[in-house]
Amino acid sequence: MPESPLLTAEDLAYTADGRDLVTDAFLTVEPGSFQAVVGPNGAGKSTLLRLLSGELTPARGRLAYGAEPAASIRPWRLACLRAVLPQSARLAFPFSVADVARIGLDGLGRGLSRRDRERLLGQALAQADVAHLADRPYQSLSGGEQARAQFARVLCQLAAGRTVAPRQVLFLDEPTASLDLRHQGAILDCADALRREGTGIVAILHDLNLAAAYADTLIVMDAGRIVARGRPEAILRDALVKEVFRVDWPVGRVPEGGRPFLLPRRSVAGTQHL
């Protein structure tokens, strides 16, 4: 069973208040894959992620982690199989950054001594570049620093869960939204390092350039449906950008390798509107 999918979703659908938020979603997550979910606001990206993580119960369809139907997996075990980086979270109580990250280790995993947990905590804080903030109250940090503290918490959860389930999926909901350029690159590099070790990554990204640079597969959503999917260089074309994102921005190609990139129309010479 070495290369069976980590996660299989078939025909997932979700309806809220009579609106179909997600329909006909088929998706598999292979070990060591990096899939970026892209699409305009309200396309159903977050709902799809919440369905895949088991947070929402689909109205229709099947979801399985490995061979196990997701609905029959106990929450504790599910927490060892996958982790989710939320968009942003505010805390009502003065937890320190180390406290927040430690919540990801707490009670998960098997056979970890107190020493092991402290070691994993130290590694996660360093990887998320928040080791120097460890004793600062989470509430006092900037949005980007809070996002990195949450990422440290997610890394802790994956590290603890690995002692129970070595085949894991990491979901990232707009991981780069509040980060500066250096940390945008750093968080995705970190996810990519996890991918190389076999973790399946599913990330919602708004920046198509980052998506094209890091993902091996783009999943393009519009109006609750997956409208295109494939390698970025294969599917990211002018027509798709125009149809899905409703902008007339030209897709360029990096000379070496041919990775696609996107620039606002105004910055492309000789084609200024208005």
The residue type at 216: D
Q: How far is the CB of 111 from another protein (least distance, A)?
A: 17
Q: How far is the CB of 71 from another protein (least distance, A)?
A: 14
Three-state secondary-structure class, residue 2: coil
Q: Are strands 217-222 and 34-38 parallel, antiparallel or unpaired?
A: parallel
Q: How far is the CB of 127 from another protein (least distance, A)?
A: 5
Burial class of 209 by CB neighbour count within 10 A (0 to 12, 13 to 18, 19+): middle
Q: Which is nearer to another protein, 4 or 139 (CB)?
A: 139
Q: How far is the CB of 229 from another protein (least distance, A)?
A: 25
Q: 191, 172 in Cβ contact below 8 A?
A: yes
Q: 199, 80 in Cβ contact below 8 A?
A: no
Q: How far is the CB of 17 from another protein (least distance, A)?
A: 11
Q: Which is nearer to another protein, 118 or 233 (CB)?
A: 118
Q: Which is nearer to another protein, 146 or 217 (CB)?
A: 146
Return d(Cα 228, Cα 51) in angstroms, integer. Answer: 19
Residues 74, 78, 81, 82, Cα dihedral to 10° = 170
Helix axes 143-161, 114-127, angle to 10 degrees: 140
Q: How far is the CB of 100 from another protein (least distance, A)?
A: 7
Return d(Cα 171, Cα 85) in angstroms, integer. Answer: 6
The residue type at 162: R
- DSSP 8-state secondary structure symbol assigned to residue 186: H
Q: How far is the CB of 83 from another protein (least distance, A)?
A: 7
Return d(Cα 102, Cα 153) in angstroms, integer. Answer: 7
Q: 205, 49 in Cβ contact below 8 A?
A: no
Q: Which is nearer to another protein, 36 or 130 (CB)?
A: 130
Q: Which is nearer to another protein, 123 or 209 (CB)?
A: 123
Q: How far is the CB of 63 from another protein (least distance, A)?
A: 15
Q: Which is nearer to another protein, 131 or 227 (CB)?
A: 131
Return d(Cα 264, Cα 132) in angstroms, integer. Answer: 37
Q: Which is nearer to another protein, 181 or 274 (CB)?
A: 181
The residue type at 26: F
Q: Which is nearer to another protein, 173 or 222 (CB)?
A: 173
Binding footprint of another protein on the chain (CB under 8 A): 50, 53-55, 75-80, 82-84, 86, 89-96, 98-100, 103-104, 106-108, 115, 118-119, 121-123, 125-129, 131, 134-135, 139, 150, 153, 157, 183, 186-187, 189-190, 193
